[in-house]
């Protein structure tokens, strides 16, 4: 819109140009195709939807309320979907309803079935966002890797705290020590920053939660 009025006229709108921070009520500028191609338009966001919901692990604290994101693609480890739920490899210490509620399960199996994306052990979710299976904590634990200006950022529940990676301290509860060592080795090799999902000091290391 700038440059369309007199030189001394300020733009009457305050825009949000960052899709990552869009919220209901934001003013945005957009263009259309067809006969009005090239003309700028202004609109107010009435709804904002998540495009992807990334789950790790398949436990109630991560899976609860998935059905509240009806337009999102729900990403879950295929191996975890099988081994943590449909075909358990060994008796689970957590009952099924504490891994995934009846309501969420019904949504994923029926209404939201087409939005369920079962991730391969090595998978690209979209350009700049990938994942690899880790195990360690649960059969459904994965590491999501995000390409950022500061390098590759890994995010996972396979390690609880910074010390699990930096000081070589295994988890107090885990399903495989071998997987722990393999996950640490790969995370150190392939990421520049790692965020453990249960680390209370993340906000101390990254004030305001701004990682990149």
> Could you read off the pLDDT tens digit of each residue along the chain, which spans 212 residues?
444 455 566 666 677 777 656 666 777 676 655 555 666 656 676 656 678 999 999 999 999 999 988 989 999 999 999 999 888 888 888 888 889 999 999 999 999 999 999 999 999 999 999 999 999 999 999 999 999 999 999 999 999 999 999 999 999 888 999 999 999 999 999 999 999 999 999 999 999 888 87
Specify whether 32 is located in the same domain as 56.
no
Instruction: Report residue 169 CA to chain centroid gap.
Output: 25
Please tell me the pTM assigned to this model.
Answer: 0.78
- CA 147/CA 165 separation, integer angstroms: 20
User: Residue 28 belongs to what domain range?
Assistant: 1-48
Specify whether 167 is located in the same domain as 68.
yes
The count of domains in the chain is 2
Specify whether 28 is located in the same domain as 76.
no
Task: Provide the token pair at 116.
Answer: 């369920």
Specify whether 65 is located in the same domain as 116.
yes
Q: Which helix (H) or strand (E) holds 41?
A: strand 41-44
Q: What is the pLDDT of residue 58?
A: 94
Specify whether 124 is located in the same domain as 189.
yes
Question: Which residue carries 């090799």 as its tokens?
Answer: 189
Specify whether 86 is located in the same domain as 170.
yes
Radius of gyration of the chain (CA): 21
């Amino acid at each position: 819109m700038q440059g369309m009025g007199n030189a001394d006229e300020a733009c009457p709108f305050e825009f949000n140009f960052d899709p990552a921070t869009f919220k209901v009520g934001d003013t945005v500028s957009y263009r259309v195709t067809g006969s009005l191609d090239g003309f700028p338009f202004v609109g107010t966001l009435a709804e904002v939807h998540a495009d992807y919901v990334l789950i790790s692990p398949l436990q109630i604290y991560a899976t609860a309320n998935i059905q509240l994101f009806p337009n999102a693609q729900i990403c879950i480890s295929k191996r975890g979907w099988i081994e943590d739920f449909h075909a358990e490899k060994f008796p689970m210490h957590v009952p099924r309803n504490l891994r995934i509620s009846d309501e969420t399960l019904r949504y994923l199996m029926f209404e939201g079935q087409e939005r369920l994306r079962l991730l391969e052990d090595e998978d690209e979710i979209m350009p700049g966002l990938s994942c690899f299976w880790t195990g360690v904590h649960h059969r459904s634990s994965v590491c999501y890797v995000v390409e950022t200006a500061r390098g590759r950022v890994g995010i996972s529940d396979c390690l609880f705290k910074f010390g699990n990676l930096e000081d070589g301290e295994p988890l107090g509860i885990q399903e495989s020590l071998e997987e722990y060592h393999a996950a640490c080795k790969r995370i150190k090799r392939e990421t520049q920053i790692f965020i453990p999902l249960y680390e209370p000091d993340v906000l101390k290391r990254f004030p305001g939660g701004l990682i990149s």
